[in-house]
Amino acid sequence: MSTITAAPKLALRHRLAERGVDRTLLLVVPGVLALIALFCYPFLYGLQLSFQPTKGGALGAYRTFFSDPFQRKSIWATFSLAIPASLINVGASVPISYRMRRDFRGKRLILALLVVPISLGTVLTAEGILEFYGPAGWFNRTLHLLGLADSPVRLTMNYTGVLLSLIISGFPFAYLLTHSYLSGIHPSLEKAAATLGADRWNRFRHITFPLLLPGLMTTFCLTFVMAFAVFPSALMVGDPDGSTHVISIEAYEAALERFDYAAGCADAMIMTALMLLVIGVVAGLRSRLYRGATGGKG
Amino acid sequence: MRPGAWLAWAALVFFAVNLAGVIGTVVLDSFSRRWFDSWVPDGYTSGWYSAAWKEFSLGRVLGTTVEVTLLVVGISLLVGVPAAYALARRDFPGKRAVTVLFVLPILVPPIAYGIPLATMLYKVHLAGTMAGVVAANLVPSIPFVIFTMTPFIEQIDARIEAAARVCGAGSGTVLVRILTPLLLPGMLAAGILVLVRTFGMFELTFLTSGPTSQTLVVTLFSAVNSAGIRSAQSVDAMAVVYTGSVAVLLLIALRFVNPTQLVARSTD
């Protein structure tokens, strides 16, 4: 009797194990539980809360956001900072990492120089920008000395200040990612093109660039995520009540200054939706590109 | 590409000069007696550092920072490494869903999930406490550990474990004597990277911390942004202390890991 009942149990366990379900899977459980409790649940809670504003019905918080021009414009402010910043960061890292593929003296020094800003932190960057690009800072003094500007150029407490801080903090990330993608493309592909008579520009245009493009799009996505969430620098070097009133500031002010949790959560949801929309568009474009082997190191 | 080469070098030099200027002004200012409308300060002093240390009670803040960071590193390794192992070794129904669950916290901006999370933590009276700050910081750290560890685990040949089992090792012995020694470099790398990231994580800590659970970044931000007259120099001194400590952590990290791992978060 016992053998008969044991047999199907064993069989079930075997069948499950063949599909990859066995006790090893228990290892993933704590991680999944932690993220459900700390990420999914709060997120759904926030979503639910955003539909329960004190006034205006279920969609009241969203309606307020889209009908108030000051709040609505924060979307435009965010995109007009995040898109140029990520394009500049990705665009500048291509030629530089192209140069850095070769080995040369001082390469490690330049690498270190490019990685340094990661350690700077927002506040030091912001203070540095305020003091260096400020009206009495070295940058304006140099311009004056060279006779390029009569009166100090206003570069801080406005759009330019935030853009500068996004470039200083975002460029190292973009560069490191682009560098790792580029080193995954085997040099022999370009050499083959060279033996077939392609010049430098054609080799880049028709061989390296198409292979690099999917990686560049991922880099763009990740840099965009960072720039999209710009928060401390928009407050410190920007014009938080005007041109750099980005959506994260709007969400923060709603939730933790006005204590209107419904509005804060609604802003957070709008922010997430926009973010996922951009990532979805880039991922859609990326899936249409060549995704085969790049002959790289892997 | 000749003009391209010149362009690249010019961009690099311009970036370097500006970077040096930004860092230089802050460091110089933190040592300056007075600096208004001139190329260099009027005089030099190191008094701002001790002033900042007292004014912002940096000793206590640094203690909190270290405590939070170490707790986050420990817990995320404890939770993340087993999950990474299971994800790397098994192909199971619903694996895609689990992977998406782990990717999302990396893609969604911290502010966007931090606000609902902070609201929830206020509700359960955890906001402002050390536990709340640690819990919030675990959200990006656990996925980060998982994605950093996966390549390390995939490098280990599964036949090594099978061989150990054939030789009579139980699961515990395989874990302690086979997997742990082989995974130690990966765990070290993941741990150091989480350490650097948690140390610098501003948004989540800012949203969830209270007066007694602030980390150094948040204190620094509040010093700049809160009302009251503070000399720029003492804020700068604190910023230099912060950057100095991150730079030391980063230098240690770079001895153990490839710099591209600092950012290669979820490359498929």
Q: Which tens digits make up the pLDDT trace of A13-60? A: 787 777 777 788 888 999 999 999 999 999 999 999 999 888 778 888
Chain B residues 52-111 with CB within 8 Å of chain A: 79-80, 82-83, 85-87, 89-93, 95, 98, 101-102, 104-105, 107-111
Quick one: pLDDT band at residue A141, thresholds 50, 70, 90?
A: confident
Q: Could you tell me which of B195, B216, B197 has the C-alpha nearest to residue B206?
A: B216
Residue A7, pLDDT score: 57
Q: What are the CA-CA distances from residue B249 to residues A20, B98, B154, B193, B261 (Å)?
A: 40, 32, 27, 9, 15
Give yes or no for residue B128 having a pLDDT over 70: yes
**Is B238 a member of any domain?**
yes
Buried b (16+ CB within 10 A) or exposed e, A235-264: bbbbbbeebbbbbbbbbbbbbbeeebbbbb
Q: Has the ipTM of the complex gone over 0.90?
A: no
Identify the band that residue A6 occupies on the pLDDT scale cut at 50, 70 and 90.
low
Q: Which residue of A has its CA nearest to B218?
A: A123
Check if the beta carbon of residue B118 is closer than 8 Å to that of residue B208.
Answer: yes
* Cα dist from A144 to A140, A152, B16, B41, whole Å: 6, 8, 21, 19
Nearest by CB to A127, which of B118, B135, B235?
B235
Mean pLDDT of A151-165: 87
pLDDT at B266: 35
Best-predicted range by mean pLDDT among A146-150, A164-168, B188-192?
A164-168
Angle at B265 between CA B259 and CA B268, to 5 degrees: 115
Average pLDDT, chain A: 85
pLDDT classification of B267: cutoffs 50, 70, 90: very low
Q: Which of A67-76, A107-116, A236-245, B38-47 has the lowest mean pLDDT?
A: A107-116
Confidence check: pLDDT of A108 > 90: no
Q: HSE of B170 in the Cβ direction (CA atoms, 13 Å)?
A: 1
Q: Does A68-286 carry CATH code 3.40.47.10?
A: no
pLDDT at A5 over 70: no
The per-residue DSSP string of A77-130 comes to: HHHHHHHHHHHHHHHHHHHHHHHTTS--TTHHHHHHHHHTHHHHHHHHHHHHHH
CATH of the domain at B155: 1.10.3720.10
B44 bridge partner residues:
B32
- Taking the Cβ of residue B20 and every Cβ of chain A, the question of whether any pair is shorter than 8 Å is answered with no
Q: Is the dihedral of CA A59, A60, A61, A65 positive or negative?
A: positive
Q: Which two tokens stand for residue A287?
A: 């899936």
A252-286 residue pLDDT tens = 888 888 888 899 999 999 999 998 999 899 989 98
In a domain, B146, yes or no: yes
Check if B176 contacts A (Cβ < 8 Å): no
B48 in a domain, yes or no? no
pLDDT at B260: 56
**Three-class SS of residue B7?**
helix
Q: Is the pLDDT of residue B262 over 60?
A: no
User: Based on the structure, what is the number of domains in chain B?
Assistant: 1
What is the torsional sign of CA B92, B97, B101, B107?
positive
Span B55-109, pLDDT tens digits:
888 889 999 999 999 999 999 999 999 999 999 888 888 899 999 999 999 888 8
Is B10 a member of any domain? Answer: no
- Give how far B257 is from chain A: nearest CA, Å: 13
CA A39 to chain centre: 19
| Whether pLDDT at B136 is above 80 | yes
**Residue A163 banded pLDDT, cuts 50, 70, 90:** very high
In this structure, what token pair is assigned to residue B25? Answer: 């002004």
* pLDDT at residue A298, rounded to an integer: 38
Q: Is residue B24 part of a domain?
A: no
The predicted pLDDT at position A1 comes to: 45
Specify if B207 maps to a domain.
Answer: yes
Interface of B with A in 179-238 (CB under 8 A): 200, 202-203, 207, 217, 220-221, 224-225, 232, 235-236
Rounded CA separation A65/A267 (Å): 8
Whether the CB of B174 is below 8 Å from some CB of chain A: the reply is no
Q: Which residues of A touch B136 (CB under 8 A)?
A: 38
d(CA A240, CA A249) in angstroms, rounded, equals 8
Give me the pLDDT at residue A79, please.
93
DSSP H helical segments within B35-94, as ranges? 47-55, 58-89
Residues 6+ apart with CB under 8 A from B255: none
- CA-CA distance, A253 to B80, in Å (whole number)? 34
Nearest Cα residue to A101 out of B266, B1, B152, B247: B1
**Residue numbers in A near B21 (CB within 8 A):** 128, 132, 137-139
- Calculate what percentage of chain B has a pLDDT beyond 90: 24
Q: Where are the domains of chain A?
A: 68-286
Contact A30 B79 (CB under 8 A): yes
pLDDT digits (tens, 9 = 90+) for B18-67: 888 998 888 888 888 877 777 878 778 888 888 888 888 888 999 999 99
* Residues contacting B68, CB < 8 A, separation 6+: B130, B133, B134, B137, B198, B205, B213, B215
> So what's the pLDDT on residue B268?
34
* CA proximity to A29, closest of B185, B267, B142: B142
Count the residues in chain A. 298
The C-alpha atoms of residue A93 and residue B11 are separated, in whole angstroms, by: 10
**Measured between alpha carbons, how far is residue A29 from residues A17, A108, B93, B170, B184 in Å?**
17, 42, 14, 22, 22
| Domain that residue B241 falls in | 57-262
Q: Does B175 touch chain A (CB under 8 A)?
A: no
Is residue A2 over pLDDT 60? no
pLDDT mean over B116-140: 92
Neighbours of A76 (CB within 10 A): 13
**Mean pLDDT: which of A237-251, B132-146, B229-243 is highest?**
B132-146
Q: How far apart are CA B8 and CA B62, in angstroms?
A: 40
Confidence of residue B142 (pLDDT cuts 50, 70, 90): very high
Taking contacts as CB-CB distances below 8 angstroms, the residues of chain B near A201 are 1
